[in-house]
Each structure stands twice: as C-alpha cells, then as structure tokens.
C-alpha cells in the first residue's frame, strides 16, 4: 500500500524519515479529494491549534465518515491490521532501526489493555495502530514542541493537500525537529510540552502533497509545527498513524 522506495533517513538527534510519493498517485488523488470536511472535526487547543477526527474525538462522525467513503474505508482497513505493523517494522529494521517486534499480539481496539498475568510473565507486547485525521488552520495553527506519549513507537504523518492548495513558502506548515534551548530539558520520555520560544529549530521538513514523515519515539524526539501564517480558510490536512505499545 505504501511506496517506501523514496525514503530519506536522518538519524540525529533521533530517527526521522521523509518519504515523497508515498502513495500511488490515483489513490492519493482519490483520498485527497474526499478528505473529511472541517465540520466533522473537533477543535482543540490542548497541544496547539488543530482539528481532530478520530476514534476518540468525534467518534460517531469518524465512523460514519468511514462507512460512507469506500476509499477511506479500504485505506483504514489496510492500516488497522497486523500486516501494516509488520511492514513498517521490517522497513525500519532494514534501515538499522530494530523495534524488536518479532513476537506481538495485535489489536485494533482503542480500549484493550495489557492486563493478563500470563502475557505479562511472557512479556508479550500488545500493539495497535491508530488512525487520526488531523487538520490545522493556516492562520495561526501549529503544534507545540513535544516528544510524543511514552506508549508510542512510530508516528507517520501523511499529507492530504492537493496540488496548488498549500503555499508552504508563504504559510509554513513543515514539521520541525527542535531542541530545548536549556539542554538540561532534552530528556522528555513522558512528553512534557514546551513553548515555541523555549526551543530552537534544527531542521524543518517540507509539507507537500503525497508525502509521509515518519519518526521514532525516543526520550529526545522533540518536534513541532511552528505557528503558520496563511489564510483562515486554508487547512493543513494530514492523516496521523501511530503504532503504539499498549501497557
């Protein structure tokens, strides 16, 4: 489903992979044209300025949208499965990032917890993949510097803007790898957020159509989307896929 042949890796200060042309063009166009409307999303200022539509945020509208859009339903089914996790883990291992997920139990449920004493004794990991539509207004939208929750292993952010829809040079919108100005705060396994002016930008990856940005959760995987400067009518439209270890 994913074309990973164009992958470009950076390994410092933590592994990040930029993948242009990640989907077959016809599939990408179909999904970009049918991306959910703003009215389906839940607005949030918890970690910045963004809209979210997921199994947690506006769950009924999320399920209804997937039921009514066959293309997105097929894509969802392709992500919410063990084979997808295995594909990503195998791809990462080929590039010297070994998540040690040879043996794991997969669940697609957002409610499953790793409770059983037998599974704990055997140290069996329970893995799930999450699928969230995430959009930010071009006028002032952004995500504060953070490192992601401890349960996350891998995050993939796919763009779903159409050609000519987003003016990155004028508006911004790229994901930035950042580092705290106070280096004593680099360690952040438990994902405390910082203010934008408390960090410095090391590198910003572009935000263009049909791309994926993949990054690994580490104690220092600081990243952000700096506040954008476009019109309020424009949305930075993405799909966020998380591979998580359920504790």
Average pLDDT, the chain: 94
**Is residue 237 pLDDT above 60, yes or no?**
yes
Given this model, what pLDDT does residue 120 score?
56
pLDDT reported for residue 115: 54
124-141: pLDDT as tens digits? 789 999 999 999 999 999
Q: What integer pLDDT is reported at residue 28 of this predicted model?
A: 98
Q: pLDDT tens across 36-77, in order?
A: 999 999 998 878 889 999 998 899 999 999 999 999 999 999
Mean pLDDT of 95-118: 79
Contact 146, 222 (CB under 8 A): yes
Q: Evaluate if residue 117 carries a pLDDT over 80.
A: no
- Calpha distance 236→247 (Å, rounded): 32
pLDDT score, position 246: 87
**Residues 168-227: pLDDT tens digits?**
999 999 999 999 999 999 999 999 999 999 999 999 999 999 999 999 999 999 999 999
pLDDT in tens, 12-35: 999 999 999 999 999 999 999 999
Cα separations (Å) of 181 from 84, 102, 145, 194, 196?
37, 38, 12, 11, 10
The first and second tokens of residue 200, run together, are 């410095």
- Is the pTM value of this prediction over 0.95? no
Provide the token pair at 241: 């896929």
Domains and CATH numbers, the chain: 8-246 (2.60.120.620)
Give pLDDT tens digits for 193-209: 999 999 999 999 999 99
């Amino acid at each position: 489903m994913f074309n990973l042949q164009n992958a470009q890796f950076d390994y410092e200060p933590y592994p990040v992979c930029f993948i242009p042309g990640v989907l077959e063009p016809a599939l990408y166009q179909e999904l970009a044209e049918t991306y959910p409307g703003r009215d389906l999303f839940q607005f949030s200022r918890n970690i910045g300025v963004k809209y979210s539509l997921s199994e947690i945020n506006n769950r009924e509208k999320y399920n209804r949208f997937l039921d009514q859009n066959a293309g997105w339903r097929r894509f969802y089914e392709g992500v919410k499965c063990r084979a997808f996790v295995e594909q990503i883990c195998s791809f990462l291992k080929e590039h010297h990032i070994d998540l040690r997920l040879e043996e794991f139990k997969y669940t697609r449920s957002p409610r499953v917890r790793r409770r059983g004493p037998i599974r704990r004794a055997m140290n069996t990991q329970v893995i799930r993949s999450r699928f969230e539509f995430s959009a930010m207004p071009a006028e002032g939208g952004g995500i504060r510097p953070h490192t992601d929750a401890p349960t996350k292993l891998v995050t993939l952010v796919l763009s779903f803007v159409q050609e000519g829809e987003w003016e990155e040079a004028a508006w911004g919108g790229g994901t930035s790898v950042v580092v705290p100005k106070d280096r004593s705060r680099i360690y952040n396994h438990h994902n405390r957020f910082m203010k934008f002016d408390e960090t410095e930008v090391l590198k910003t990856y572009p935000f263009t159509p049909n791309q994926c940005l993949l990054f690994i959760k580490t104690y220092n995987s600081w990243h952000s989307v700096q506040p954008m400067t476009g019109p309020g009518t424009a949305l930075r439209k993405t799909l966020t896929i998380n591979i998580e270890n359920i504790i």
